Structure 1
Amino acid sequence: MNTFTKLSKRFLIAAMLLLAVVTVKAQEEESSFSLSGSVDTYFRTNLNAANYTDFDDDGVKEIQAPGSSFANLPGFSLGMVNLIAAYEGEKVGFVGDLVFGPRGADAVFGSAPALNIVNQLYVYWNVSDALTITAGNFNTFLGYEVISPSANFNYSTSYMFSYGPFSHSGVKADISAGDVSFMVGVFNPTDATDFNPSGEYLGGAQIGYGGAYLNFLFDDEFFQADLTAGWDLSESFYLGVNATSASDNFFGAALYLQNSFSDAFSMGLRGEYFSDKGVGVLTTDESVIDLTLSANYTVGSLTLIPEVRLDSFSEDDVVVTEFNSPTDFKTGSSLSSFVIAAVYSF
């Protein structure tokens, strides 16, 4: 058992006991229950290549698509149904976030089949205006993008987001100190959401200031640093930034440029560089540049997202492994694709 895991167990026991005692004793004066979420579906096709490669040994067609997560199925395809139940009290509350469909299944791939509908499940305690303690399973604090398509501008996702992490199970403390915020936490191994399969733990930390967040995930043998930031440069123009480096896995950086032309219509460009150092999405030590141009057109609660994406690889015949699948294919110098998605939020 490594040193960090030993210290983590002691911290976890103390924090969980404290949270349990205070949650039971907390007296709520006001509370509210809400149900929200989204439904999404899409059509996708390649523009400069077939949607499928040769048949595999079982006679099944293998798909060609960007190696990032979500929005990588050909033809008319399903995203997911996302149902979020939340109970918010003055001091304590909970969130239960369920997902159904291919996008949801990819997001919770670390769960057993019987449990792969739980995206988030956590309780929290507002100890004071400056301190909140959260315990359970919650989506990651690293990265610019999120699992829910209703909270992303681009429908397809970046490589940095796709290769992690998605979620953590553990306990964390969020601290507000004026313009500066902090977070510290202890978690199961990445994406081990239902229980700890190895007895090892990861530490997490975050420092935030002025729309920028510096994030860390680590144990004795792993270290990931991540910068996420976003600023409104004018009333209509927005700039987002993400940069990350995970030891012996990958590193990358992305810019998100978005402009609103009206209340109903906006356009945005994501430009990402991703280098595979052992995570296994590309041939090791190869890289890809992802350029994604997306439009958002909103009609009431429905958002239509037409999107053109170009994945340009560092070499011809880079081997790309499809996300959460053993299927892989050799690329040419690039792969261009088109997606049009419909996302309904409620």
Structure 2
Amino acid sequence: MKTIIYTKYVKNLLLFAFALASTATFAQEEEEAKKFSLSGSVDAYYRTNLNGDNGFDDASGLPNAAPGSSFANLPGFALGMANVIAAYEGEDVGFVADLVFGPRGTDAIFASPLYSATGNIVNQLYVYWNLSPSVKLTFGNFNTFLGYEVISPVANFNYSTSYLFSYGPFSHTGLKADFTLSDDFSLMLAIMNPTDQTELNPTEKYAFGAQLGYSGQFLNFLADDGAFEIDFTGGFDLSDEFFLGINAALYDNDDIGFAGVALYPQYATSDNFTIGLRGEYFAETGDYGAIGTGVEDSSVFAVTLTGSATIGNLIIKPELRLDSASDDSFNFLDSDLAAQKSLSSFVLAAVYSF
């Protein structure tokens, strides 16, 4: 009888130990699995000008008529990009490898000429170290901290992008330190290569950046070899359905630059549909070249009305845009390829995120 009881006791003990080991192994595997993630997006669109030429200039490699802002400028059915982001989040250290394929990605790394012709596909590539719960160091290539909009179409409400975003920096390579000062306040300081020089530093000069954050509102500053940009980015939930985003910036480089402001009211009509407007005023100092008039001190007012319908992981975005400049613009060509003051266009975009 004792032998049987002892045997049962040993069996139960072994079963308990096995169950405990299996649980520990499963928990460890689950914990390890959570550290590595793979995400990204794929997007494509259709675009047409309603009062301008829809041809393509073979000599310049650019569409005959399109707003002077980045992305969603190609005529007809066109490609955005495939974006694949691999990330590993350790207890104190980790990395992000953000790769882009397609026209939107190529535009995003426009100032990385050394390897672009041979297939540079890096949008972001950095490692980080959490020195403490309130201090984080990031080293490598990361998207800019300035501006309301971003390169990825998933995080933008409007599919086409603003002048403020297009003529601010896209990415930086360097070292930045993020400080959590309190529950409401944050601070970031950075030393970086010249703006958008993401592969290497060809000048032996460096840019310096800073960001002060308070409850989701951010004041940004960038100094780069005599040029500087100051930028405010923020937003407010005015109700459960109504959000208002704000972006304002001033850039100066030896008396040539720009200033502007953009408002982003967005109203959610249901869980699956939101309608939003971007109203932007953008003015050049001197002949900066963003608006394409060839005239000093030109300005443009751009209104973009976008709908966003969500179907699972797929987002459908119909968009109407009107750009109206103070002077005739060579970006706004009519059907006779003559410059005009305004351009209206329609975009239908599809964005899948995973």
Indicate whether the TM-score tops 0.5: yes
Identify unmatched segments of 5+ residues in structure 1: 1-28, 323-328
Contact 2:322 2:342 (8 Å CA) reproduced: yes
Tell me how far 1:320 sits from its aligned partner: 3.3
Contact 1:52 1:61 (8 Å CA) reproduced: no
Number of aligned residue pairs: give it: 309
TM-score (norm 2): 0.84
Is 1:280 aligned to 2:289, yes or no? yes
Tell me how far 1:231 sits from its aligned partner: 1.2
Superposed CA deviations along residues 99-125 of structure 1, whole A, max 9, x for unmatched, are 000000000111232352100000000
Superposed CA deviations along residues 259-306 of structure 1, whole A, max 9, x for unmatched, are 101110010000001112243222331111110000000000000000
Contact 2:39 2:85 (8 Å CA) reproduced: yes
1:246 aligns with: 251
1:93 aligns with: 94
Tell me how far 1:321 sits from its aligned partner: 9.3
- Secondary structure at the aligned position of 2:107 is classed as helix
Is 1:314 aligned to 2:322, yes or no? no
Within 1, Cα distance between the matches of 2:215 and 2:120? 36
Is 1:107 aligned to 2:71, yes or no? no
Within 1, Cα distance between the matches of 2:66 and 2:330? 12
1:338 to 336, 343, 346: 346
Tell me how far 1:225 sits from its aligned partner: 0.3
Is 1:266 aligned to 2:274, yes or no? yes
1:157 aligns with: 161
2:142 aligns with: 138
Within 2, Cα distance between the matches of 1:59 and 1:120? 28
Tell me how far 1:319 sits from its aligned partner: 3.3
Contact 1:318 1:330 (8 Å CA) reproduced: no
Q: Percent identity of the aligned residues?
A: 60
1:33 aligns with: 36
- Secondary structure at the aligned position of 1:165 is classed as coil
1:196 to 196, 201, 204: 201
Tell me how far 1:219 sits from its aligned partner: 3.8
- Secondary structure at the aligned position of 1:293 is classed as strand
Is 1:129 aligned to 2:140, yes or no? no
Tell me how far 1:342 sits from its aligned partner: 0.2
Contact 1:271 1:291 (8 Å CA) reproduced: yes
Within 1, Cα distance between the matches of 2:67 and 2:190? 33
Distance 1:131 1:276, change over 3 A: same
2:174 aligns with: 170
- Secondary structure at the aligned position of 1:169 is classed as strand
Contact 1:45 1:74 (8 Å CA) reproduced: yes
- Secondary structure at the aligned position of 1:106 is classed as helix
Contact 1:145 1:161 (8 Å CA) reproduced: yes
Tell me how far 1:62 sits from its aligned partner: 4.6
AA of the residue aligned to 2:64: I
Superposed CA deviations along residues 149-203 of structure 1, whole A, max 9, x for unmatched, are 0000000000010012000000000001111000000010000000001111010
Within 2, Cα distance between the matches of 1:197 and 1:330? 39
Coordinate RMSD, CA, aligned: 1.9
Superposed CA deviations along residues 76-121 of structure 1, whole A, max 9, x for unmatched, are 0000000000000110000000000000000011123235210000
Within 2, Cα distance between the matches of 1:288 and 1:122? 36
TM-score (norm 1): 0.85
Distance 1:60 1:195, change over 3 A: closer
AA of the residue aligned to 2:139: A
Identify unmatched segments of 5+ residues in structure 2: 1-30
Distance 1:196 1:321, change over 3 A: farther
Tell me how far 1:318 sits from its aligned partner: 2.5
Within 1, Cα distance between the matches of 2:77 and 2:274? 24
Tell me how far 1:63 sits from its aligned partner: 2.2
Deviates more, 1:174-183 or 1:214-223: 214-223
For 1:14-29, what aligned pairs fall within 5 Å after superposition?
none
Within 2, Cα distance between the matches of 1:59 and 1:253? 30
Is 1:291 aligned to 2:303, yes or no? yes
- Secondary structure at the aligned position of 1:161 is classed as helix
Q: Which runs of 4+ in 1 moved over 4 A?
A: 58-62
Deviates more, 1:144-153 or 1:276-285: 276-285
Is 1:211 aligned to 2:223, yes or no? no
Contact 2:321 2:345 (8 Å CA) reproduced: yes
- Secondary structure at the aligned position of 2:105 is classed as helix
Distance 1:59 1:110, change over 3 A: closer
Deviates more, 1:240-249 or 1:36-45: 240-249
Within 1, Cα distance between the matches of 2:331 and 2:60? 20
1:187 aligns with: 192
Structure showing greater radius of gyration is 2
Superposed CA deviations along residues 15-74 of structure 1, whole A, max 9, x for unmatched, are xxxxxxxxxxxxxx9671000000000000001122137x66x59885211110000000
